Structures are given as structure tokens and as C-alpha cells.
């Protein structure tokens, strides 16, 4: 029985070392993902604080644009690998993504101008939007760079 446990431990250790010795393994990847997650959480916290300062839940509606923004690009990607042109469908996806990103900043500005929320809430909503979008752009750029290094372009 003791010999069987030692054998399993050696096998697990060998498998664990094989994973860590793999040429694509990055030991700092966990820290980077945690950093991106924390930055994203800070952006969402700023939007929650915008709700607190406005004494209403209206500023939280902007969070919907954060989650909807990447989908048009994902859906309308250029599916033709042999074409060098982006195509009309890709342009439509980029336009709709831009629409959602701009609406993430415009909706709080319109609500503040209409006195639905306070200007302090507008500041928190804009800061939260900048933080969330900067985090998403950094996340996508980092992993796109990693894919190019690995040859998965």
C-alpha cells in the first residue's frame, strides 16, 4: 500500500514537472490574469459607486454596453482566410462595437445633462468605463501578442 502511494506521487510529480517544463508555460500568467481581473473589478466598482452617488440605479445600465461591445466583432469576423480585404461584415462588426463603446460614455453624459444622475456619478461612470475598456484592450492585446509568439495567428 505504501509503495502504491509513493508510485502515484512520483507519477503526479512527473506529470506536474512536464507541464512546467512545457515551452509555452508562463509562470507569471496567473498573476497577470489576476491583475486583469482586479482592474476589471475596480471599473465595475466605480460604476456601482456612480449608483451610490446618484441615489439611483440608472448608472449601472452602462455595464450592459461593456458586455455587448465585443460581440459584434466576434460574430462578424472575416471568415474568409484567403481574402486580404476585411469585407463589409467585418466593417459592420467594428461599427457596432464602436457604437457600444461610445454609448458606454454617452449614456451617463446624457443622464447627467438631463439631471437624472449627478455630475459626481458621471465622473465615476466615465472613470469606470475607461478602466473597464482599458483592461479589456490590454487583455486582448496581451493574449493576441502571446498567440503571435506561439504561431497561432
Q: Is residue 23 part of a domain?
A: no
Q: Is residue 7 part of a domain?
A: no
Quick one: what percent of the chain has pLDDT higher than 90? 43
Closest CA to 122 of 136, 134, 110: 110
Q: Per the structure block, which three cell numbers stand in for 114?
A: 438631463
Q: Which residue has the cell 465622473?
A: 123
Q: Is residue 18 part of a domain?
A: no
Quick one: what percent of the chain has pLDDT higher than 70? 71
| pLDDT at residue 73, rounded to an integer | 84
Average pLDDT of the chain to the nearest whole number: 80
pLDDT by residue (tens digit) across 40-82? 999 999 999 999 999 999 999 999 998 898 888 888 876 555 5
Q: Is residue 140 part of a domain?
A: yes
The per-residue DSSP string of 37-75 comes to HHHHHHHHHHHHHHHHHHTSSGGGGGHHHHHHTHHHHHH
Q: Is residue 65 part of a domain?
A: yes
| pLDDT at residue 32, rounded to an integer | 84
Q: What does the alpha-carbon distance between residue 126 and residue 27 come to, in Å, rounded to a whole number?
A: 34
Residue 150 has pLDDT above 70, yes or no: no
Q: Is residue 76 part of a domain?
A: yes
**Average pLDDT of the residues in 80-86:** 57
User: The domain containing residue 44 runs over which residues?
Assistant: 31-150
Contact 73, 94 (CB under 8 A): yes
Q: Is residue 3 part of a domain?
A: no
SS (H, E, C) 105-129: HHHHHHHHHCCCCCHHHHHHHHHHH
Residue 28 has pLDDT above 80, yes or no: no
Q: Which range, of 69-73, 104-108, 137-141, 149-153, averages the lowest pLDDT?
A: 149-153
pLDDT band at 6 (very low <50, low <70, confident <90, very high): low
Q: Count of domains in the chain?
A: 1
**pTM of the shown model:** 0.71
Q: Is residue 4 part of a domain?
A: no
| pLDDT at residue 33, rounded to an integer | 87
pLDDT by residue (tens digit) across 107-131? 999 999 999 999 999 999 999 999 9
Amino acid at each position: 500500500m505504501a509503495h502504491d502511494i509513493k508510485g502515484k506521487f512520483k507519477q503526479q510529480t512527473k506529470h506536474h514537472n512536464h507541464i512546467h517544463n512545457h515551452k509555452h508555460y508562463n509562470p507569471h500568467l496567473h498573476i497577470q490574469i489576476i491583475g486583469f481581473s482586479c482592474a476589471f473589478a475596480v471599473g465595475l466598482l466605480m460604476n456601482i459607486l456612480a449608483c451610490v452617488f446618484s441615489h439611483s440605479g440608472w448608472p449601472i445600465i452602462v455595464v450592459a454596453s461593456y458586455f455587448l461591445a465585443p460581440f459584434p466583432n466576434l460574430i462578424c469576423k472575416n471568415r474568409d482566410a484567403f481574402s486580404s480585404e476585411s469585407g463589409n461584415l467585418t466593417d459592420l462588426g467594428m461599427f457596432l462595437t464602436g457604437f457600444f463603446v461610445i454609448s458606454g460614455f454617452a449614456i451617463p453624459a446624457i443622464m447627467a445633462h438631463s439631471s437624472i444622475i449627478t455630475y459626481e456619478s458621471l465622473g465615476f461612470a466615465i472613470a469606470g468605463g475607461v478602466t473597464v475598456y482599458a483592461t479589456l484592450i490590454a487583455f486582448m492585446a496581451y493574449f493576441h501578442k502571446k498567440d503571435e509568439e506561439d504561431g497561432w495567428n
